[in-house]
Each structure stands twice: as C-alpha cells, then as structure tokens.
C-alpha cells in the first residue's frame, strides 16, 4: 500500500527542478507512506514518478518503488491478493523475480499480457506505468474504485496522484474552482467522478485505464463493466446460500494475505459480523475494533462486544464524545482535500487511529448494504417517486397544517424530482440537500440540473427492475466517492491499509445475478446474508434493527457554536463565495429547527476546505 504521484511536462525547459518537485509532491503524501520514499525522473521527457510506501507485503528493500523490469517503470498503490498464483504462472513462462512483492507481479503481468493483465487481478489498485520506449504513460484504477486516482491536464502539463494535495506542490498547477462541482457537493455532500472540485483536475473512474502519449493525447478505456453481470439466474435459495457462503469464505480469507498484523472493524452489524464469523470459522484469530457512543440510539458497541465474545476476538473499543469529534472536524480539509460532508468520516478516522496502534491492515465490511439491498432508501425512495404526481395534486390541502415556508420547500423539491427524465435522475434529485433556488441565493450557482446531468448520464441499466436499477446506479456513482473515499482517506491519513472483503468481483457479480427475493424478502433486507449469518449468531443479533455507522453529531448542542464560528461574517467574506445574507438566514432557520443541520454542515465543510485551499 502506498501513495503515488507523477507528472509529464511536455513543455519543460528547465525552469524548475524536476527532482525537487516530485519529492515535494510525494512528501505531501507522507502520512500514507511513512516507510520509504522513491523517485524516478526521465528528464529528457520532462517526466517524473514517485511514491511513499506503507510496507505490507515483502517488507524488504527489494519491494521498494519505483520498480523497473528493464523497460517499464511502475508506481503502485493497493494490493493484488491473488498475486502468488499469478506469480507462479509467470514463473512457468520464464519470468524471474527479484522480490516477493505484488508490485513486481503487476510489472511482469503488464509486459506479458498488456492492458488485459488487470482481468487476472483480484484486489484493489491504482497504478502508473511509464514506457520510455513507446513514450506512453498508463494509469489504471481498480474495478470498483477502492483506491483513488486523480489526474490533471492543462496546456502542456499532465499530472496524476492518489490525492489532490500533491498537485498543489507543482509550480504549473492551476487551482481554479469548478463552480459546477460546488453545485454537486452542496447537493450530494461529495463530488462524483470524473469531476473534482478544481477545473482541469479529474478523478479516473473505476474500471478504467487512462493512456497518455508523447503528444499529450489522452485515451480513456473501460476494461470492466459490472452491468454485464446483471443476469438474473434461476438459482434456488438453498443453492444460492451455499454458493455465496463458499465465495465469501474464499474472498474474505484471501484478504488476510499480509506480512504484518491484520485486524477488523467490527460494528456488530450484519456485514462486519459475517466477515468475523466466516474468518473465525476458518480458524483465523482476529483483533477487532469498534467505536461506541454514550447516546444509546447510536451505540452499537454492545453488539460488537457480544459478537467478539462469541468468536473469541481480541476486542478494542473507543467511546467517541464531542471534544474528540470537534478536533477531527477541523482536520477534515487536511484529510479530504476536496470538500466532503459525510459526518461518519469522524468515527471512521477515530477507529482507524485506534486500530493503527495495534495493526497495519484492517478489514472493513463496506459494500454489503449496496450489493444486498441493506439500505431502505432504495425501496422507500422508489415508493416516494411513484407518488410524486399524487402529492402535487394534493398540494392545496396541505396548507392548513404545514408552515408556509416548509410547503414552499416541499413542493420545490417535488417539482425538482418530477422534472427528472429518467429514474436515475429522479433518484439523484431526491437525494439533494439544497434546492436550485437556494443555491442561487447562496452563491453564483450554475444550473443545478445541468451540474448533475453528467452523473445520470454515466450509468444506467434499463433492463433491470426499478430497485436493482437504483441500487446499481448508486453503487457505480455515489458509492465510490462517498463511502470508499471516506474510508481510504481516513485510514491512510494514519498509515492504515483498509481492505474491503465484500468488494471482491466474484461476490459483486454473484450478487448482481441474484433474484430480488433473495436480497429483499418482505421487510427483511439483506435476506440471504442474514440467512447465512444466523448459522453462526443468535437471531436476536442477526435480525435487529439497522443502526448504521454514525455519531449523534446533530444532537450535540455545541455544534451551533461551531457553525457560528466557521460561518461568521469575517470568514465568509474572506473566502468570498457565499452570500453572507443567505448564510445568516440559514442560521436563523437552524436555531428554530435543528433539522436544518445537514445544510449548515455542508456549508461548514465547504467553508473549512475553502479556507485551506483557496485563500
């Protein structure tokens, strides 16, 4: 696991020091790679690549990067869990290895099979490979976007990095704000690929190669499309249960490959408990970590404790309270160098920091909800969408018992949703936190519908039933830039590698083939996962109400003081983006109704980010 960066300056004429520039770029990523640094520069071509290493597999110097096979040079972030079997295949073909690392396996695989080598990989990755013979740079990101990869191009300068902050260290980087991305962030709390907060800066989408040639021409290629696996099978329930458990056991165990200790984030919910159960059943002893809260409505630690006791894990827990959370709030712009508003980033960072004291790698159970319909939002919002027309017709009858300002906002939201031309568009509008008219008052907003249009045009699968269609859309668009980026940044900020057992392509493909009735049975979500888990845990632990990984941030009274501090007139005017009068009006509404919290939180997250990166 590493952090990587590089650049190709097609107009380089010696006006800056290439070696010092790549070092400054990778130094900005040192938090994610404290074990080693390395660089390679092809000065005649104005190119340099570098990395910061978090040593996980083959801890020796032989596994250091950048690595070369005599022709290609690679910098790589991630883990290829099945690298030993690919290594054996390459050995039979006559390849020789100097290390026991998966990096060298990627390098030789690329030479042997070219771009198609990634079809052999089981894992998570983001890599850059330089070919000095053909003068081409190849970038690649894993199938589901577990590892991040940004790229930048303006005029004659191209860059790539695991995090945007590395670009700020290059003298030719232009940090021009993309106002459409501000619309996207304030609507969704994140910025969906391929956009980023800056113009000329992009996220490489999951399942893609990006190829740059000597003329600066860019070619983007998709090597994997999860939608191809949406083929509903006729498998019966018993057979599906047996096969899924078999696939999960193999996939979960595969993610234990490491030359350092491995732990598990254990919430006590279905997904993390299932990972714990299936690994324990295979004789693997685990260190487990959980975050609790004094607010019982948010606290799952007692369930995690019970699961730990059943499977005999070495369990660790931490109760998060406001003072420790407040400290993390002000760290968010440094951890996430784009605006990011998922407040569960706070407990994610906290549990990562706790785990890092004991292990260098941790498993998380992200993806279970997205793949097996664990979120009620998929079918609740679908029901809401189906009633939009009826609500519009009923609107005159609501004025007697709903305050006027709330009626206006409600029907503005309904009209926004009803304007969607596709199911995906309506679903996206249903998830927005700000209405178009509010954004226009707040700043010089673009047209919100135009700003979000690129997301709804990215992925659709019209042959799917409506619930599966929303689920797949969410998995391919919002999921990588909310949950996956949240975990990657929070964990790598403390030099902890986090692996996602549910995001094995075999599990994803199998989940997409399952009939809806095996994922949602009456009111039981994640039906098939719960059926497997109840073989290992009491039903009261398996079928309890879902709580989610969150903290009671909306209930903390001191949050009002934080909002008043961050959104005070002096600070708003210094950044110069938001209209102060509109912010004051929103603060007034929040004091009257704490349900306004999400919008104040989104504004505060953006303001903190802007103060760090725009001023």
What pLDDT shows up at residue 375? 86
Strand residues in 243-292 grouped as ranges (E)? 262-265, 287-292
User: Which pLDDT score is estimated for 384?
Assistant: 64
- Three-state secondary-structure class, residue 41: strand
Q: Residue 550: which pLDDT band, with cuts at 50, 70 and 90?
A: confident
pLDDT in tens, 164-182: 999 999 999 999 999 999 9
Please say if the pLDDT value at position 595 is more than 60: yes
pLDDT of residue 391: 52
Burial of 615 (0-12, 13-18, 19+ CB in 10 A): exposed
Name the band, by pLDDT with cuts 50, 70 and 90, for residue 390: low
Task: State residue 403's pLDDT score.
Answer: 47
Pick the closest to residue 442 from 603, 333, 218 (CA basis). Answer: 603
Assess whether pLDDT exceeds 50 at residue 397: no
Q: What is the pLDDT of residues 245-279, one digit of tens each?
A: 999 999 999 999 999 999 999 999 999 999 999 99
For 222-228, what is the mean pLDDT?
A: 94
pLDDT digits (tens, 9 = 90+) for 479-525: 999 999 999 999 999 999 999 999 999 999 999 999 999 999 988 99
Query: If we measure between CA atoms, which residue out of 546, 508, 548 comes closest to residue 530?
Result: 546
| Calpha distance 185→519 (Å, rounded) | 31
Residue 406's pLDDT is what?
Answer: 62
Q: How far apart are CA 503 and CA 251, in angstroms?
A: 9
- Please, what CATH class does the domain formed by 2-224 belong to? alpha beta
Give yes or no for residue 284 having a pLDDT over 80: yes
pLDDT of residue 366: 95
Alpha carbon distance 352, 3 (integer Å): 17
Q: State how far the alpha carbon of 514 is from the alpha carbons of 143, 224, 274, in Å.
A: 20, 20, 19
Is 2 annotated as catalytic?
yes
Spans of all domains in the chain: 2-224, 244-374+478-542, 557-615
Cα(19)–Cα(140) distance, rounded to whole angstroms?
A: 24
Say if residue 396's pLDDT is above 60. Answer: no
Cis peptide before 436 (omega within 30 of 0): no
Element (H, E) at 111: helix 102-113
- What's the number of CA atoms in the CB half-sphere (13 Å) around residue 213? 6
Q: Write the DSSP assignment of 62-103 as a string of letters.
A: GG-SSEESSS-EEEEEEEETTHHHHHHHHHHTT---SSS-HH
pLDDT > 70: percent of the chain: 95
Confidence (pLDDT) at 478:
94
- Lowest mean pLDDT of 385-394, 477-486, 594-603, name the range: 385-394
Query: What pLDDT sits at residue 30?
Result: 97
Task: State the pLDDT confidence band at 457, using cuts at 50, 70 and 90.
Answer: confident
pLDDT in tens, 311-320: 999 999 999 9
Q: Is the pLDDT of residue 11 over 60?
A: yes
Residue 409 has pLDDT above 80, yes or no: no
Quote the Cα angle for 99-125-38, to 5°: 50
From start to end of 142-223, where are the E strands?
Answer: 150-154, 157-161, 201-203, 208-212, 218-222
The domain made up of 244-374+478-542 is a member of CATH 3.30.950.10: no
CA distance 14 to 23: 16
* Number of neighbouring beta carbons within 10 Å of residue 377: 16
**Lateral strand order in the sheet of 201-203:** 36-42, 47-53, 2-9, 157-161, 150-154, 201-203
Look at residue 18 in the predicted model and tell me its pLDDT.
98
3-state helix, strand, coil in the chain (%, to 5): 50, 15, 35
Over the chain, what is the mean pLDDT?
A: 93
Angle between helices 580-592 and 597-613 (to 10 degrees): 140
> In the structure, what pLDDT confidence band is assigned to residue 150 with cuts at 50, 70 and 90?
very high
């Amino acid at each position: 696991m590493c952090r990587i960066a590089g650049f190709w300056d097609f107009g380089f004429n010696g006006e800056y020091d290439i070696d010092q520039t790549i070092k400054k770029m990778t130094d900005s990523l040192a938090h994610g790679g404290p074990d080693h640094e390395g660089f390679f520069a092809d000065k005649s071509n104005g190119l340099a690549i570098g990395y910061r290493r978090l040593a996980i597999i083959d801890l020796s110097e032989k596994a250091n990067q950048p690595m070369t096979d005599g022709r290609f040079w690679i910098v790589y972030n991630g883990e290829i869990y099945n690298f030993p079997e690919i290594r054996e295949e390459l050995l039979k073909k006559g390849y020789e290895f100097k290390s026991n690392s998966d990096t060298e396996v990627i390098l030789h695989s690329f030479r042997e099979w070219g771009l198609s080598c990634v079809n052999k990989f089981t894992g998570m990755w983001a890599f850059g490979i330089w070919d000095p013979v053909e003068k081409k740079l190849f970038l690649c990101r894993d199938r589901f976007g577990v590892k991040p990869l940004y790229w930048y191009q303006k005029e004659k300068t191209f860059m790539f990095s695991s995090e945007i902050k590395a670009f700020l260290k290059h003298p030719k980087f232009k940090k021009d704000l993309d106002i459409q991305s501000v619309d996207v962030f304030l609507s969704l709390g994140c910025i969906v690929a391929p956009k980023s907060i800056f113009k000329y800066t992009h996220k490489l989408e999951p399942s893609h190669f990006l190829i740059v040639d000597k003329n600066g021409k860019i070619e983007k290629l998709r090597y994997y499309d999860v939608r191809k696996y949406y083929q509903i099978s006729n498998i019966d329930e018993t057979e599906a249960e047996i096969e899924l458990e078999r696939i999960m056991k193999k996939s979960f165990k595969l993610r234990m490959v490491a030359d350092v200790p491995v732990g598990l984030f254990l919430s006590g919910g279905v997904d993390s408990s299932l990972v714990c159960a299936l690994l324990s059943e295979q004789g693997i002893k685990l260190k487990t970590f959980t975050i609790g809260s004094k607010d019982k409505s948010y606290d799952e630690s007692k369930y995690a404790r019970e699961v730990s006791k059943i499977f005999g894990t070495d369990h660790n827990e931490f109760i998060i309270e406001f003072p420790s959370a407040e400290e993390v709030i002000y760290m968010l712009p440094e951890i996430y160098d784009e605006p990011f508003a998922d407040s569960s980033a706070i407990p994610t960072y906290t549990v990562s920091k706790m785990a890092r004291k004991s292990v260098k790698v941790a498993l998380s159970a992200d993806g279970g909800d997205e793949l097996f319909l664990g979120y009620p939002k998929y079918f609740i919002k679908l029901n809401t969408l189906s009633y939009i027309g009826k609500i519009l017709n009923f609107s005159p009858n609501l004025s007697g018992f709903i305050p006027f300002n709330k009626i206006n906002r409600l029907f503005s939201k309904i009209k926004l949703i009803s304007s969607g031309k596709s199911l995906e568009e309506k679903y996206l509008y249903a998830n927005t936190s700000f209405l178009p008219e509010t954004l226009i008052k707040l700043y010089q907003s673009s047209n919100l519908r135009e700003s979000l249009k690129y997301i709804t045009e990215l992925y659709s699968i019209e042959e799917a039933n409506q619930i599966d269609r929303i689920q797949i859309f969410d998995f391919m668009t919002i999921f990588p830039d909310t949950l996956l980026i949240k975990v990657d940044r929070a964990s790598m900020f403390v030099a902890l590698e986090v692996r996602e057992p549910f995001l094995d392509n075999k599990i994803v493909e199998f989940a997409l083939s399952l009939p809806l009735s095996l994922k949602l049975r009456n009111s039981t979500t994640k039906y098939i996962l719960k059926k497997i888990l109840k073989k290992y845990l009491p039903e009261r632990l398996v079928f309890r109400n879902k709580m989610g990984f969150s903290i009671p941030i909306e209930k903390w009274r001191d949050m009002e003081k934080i909002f008043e501090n961050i959104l005070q007139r002096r600070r708003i005017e210094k950044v110069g983006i938001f209209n102060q009068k509109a912010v004051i009006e929103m603060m007034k509404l929040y004091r009257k109704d704490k349900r306004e919290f999400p919008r104040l939180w989104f504004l505060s997250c953006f303001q903190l980010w802007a103060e760090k990166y725009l001023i």
